[in-house]
Amino acid sequence: MTAVEVVGRFAPSPTGSLHLGSLVAALGSYLFARSAGGRWLLRMDDLDAPRVVPGVAEDMLRTLEILGFDWDGEPVWQSRRGEAYAEALEKLDRLGLIYPCGCSRGEIARIASAPHGMADEIAYPGTCRDGLPPGKEPRSLRIRVPGEDISFMDGIAGCTRQRLSEVCGDFVVRRADGLFAYHLATVVDDDAAGVNQVVRGADLLASTPRQIYLQRALGMTEPAYFHLPLVTGPDGGKLSKRESAVSLASGRNLERDGGALLLLALRFLGQPLPDLPAAAPAAEILAASVSGFRHSSIPATGGPFPA
């Protein structure tokens, strides 16, 4: 039998500059794919147009290049793939899985039970599942979720099990503002690109069952998942663009110090450091780290970025 080529990807959202958590995600996905002799793709998740910051995507590409990352093919831009998402939505509609919802977030918060999903998420109570109540106008589109568990084996976190009906309920696949939802777009793009290995931060572990459910509903092949430990800030919470995480380039000359920064990221991921000085070019350090990559050395939990 011919071995299946590994296809990984890095998919940042250009809503803020790359930060240390972004670097760990990029490096981890790169090492997983390249150490297996596979391809590494780049996608700009710029679907949420109101939050996209002009010029940030181009800055991300330049930053990755300075740090020695090389990707296969041209970057994919989600903002240009609306037709593909619409086709997936039409298929879900033909399967009888989606329905219009007229509820606002405030209404859901008032009538639903206590938060228990990701980021204090409240499970949708199914108000519009059997038809729009009198007086409600359609806003978003939701997908019906099953009452049984969705389970998968994560390459770092281990066996993960979730009952969508309890954690999130029927979730949105097209937003009230007309934009396609992240979960739908990401599975459509991964499938179209042949991505079979998804390596990303552990903050997305809880949303993975939703994506697996969509993949199964759309007849897609499920990729292997690996969720990396998160870089935490001074308060112990994860770094995020919404919380104004410091840009990689802030206070640094990446042309000069990029290699040293990669060495710190390698240490965070528990990887052996290549026998190269910190002043070596970033591309050399990155190339050397591929051959020494050890999946089993990645820590299960995150923490502060090494100083």
- For the chain, the domains span 7-80+186-304, 82-182
Contacts of 41 (CB under 8 A, 6+ apart): 7, 8, 9, 10, 71, 72, 73, 76, 193, 195
Q: Decide if pLDDT at 221 tops 90.
A: yes
Crossing angle of the two packed helices 282-291 and 20-35, in degrees rounded to 10 = 50
Q: Decide if pLDDT at 121 tops 90.
A: no
Confidence of residue 108 (pLDDT cuts 50, 70, 90): confident
Q: What is the mean pLDDT of residues 223-248?
A: 74
- The single residue of 91, 136, 238, 241 carrying the catalytic annotation is 241
Active site residue 241: yes
Q: What is the pLDDT of residue 281?
A: 94
Q: Decide if pLDDT at 216 tops 60.
A: yes
CA separation for the pair 305, 245 (Å, rounded): 12
Count how many Cα atoms sit within 13 Å of the Cα of residue 102 in the half-sphere of its side chain.
10
Give me the percent of the chain exceeding a pLDDT of 70.
93
Q: Decide if pLDDT at 242 tops 50.
A: no
**Domains 7-80+186-304 and 82-182 in one fold:** yes
Q: Which of 206, 215, 196, 59 is nearest to 119 (CA)?
A: 206
Confidence of residue 212 (pLDDT cuts 50, 70, 90): very high
Phi, psi of 63 (to 5 degrees): -65, -45
Architecture of domain 82-182: 3-Layer(aba) Sandwich (3.40)
Q: What is the pLDDT of residue 106?
A: 83
Q: Decide if pLDDT at 161 tops 80.
A: yes
For the beta carbon of residue 237, count every other beta carbon within 10 angstroms. Answer: 10
Q: What is the mean pLDDT of residues 55-74?
A: 95
- CA Rg value for the chain: 20
Give me the percent of the chain exceeding a pLDDT of 90.
82
Phi, psi of 277 (to 5 degrees): -70, 155
Q: What's the mean pLDDT when you consider all of the chain?
A: 91
Q: What is the pLDDT of residue 248?
A: 82
| Structural contact between residues 24 and 265, judged by C-beta atoms closer than 8 angstroms | yes
**In CATH, what number does 7-80+186-304 get?**
3.40.50.620
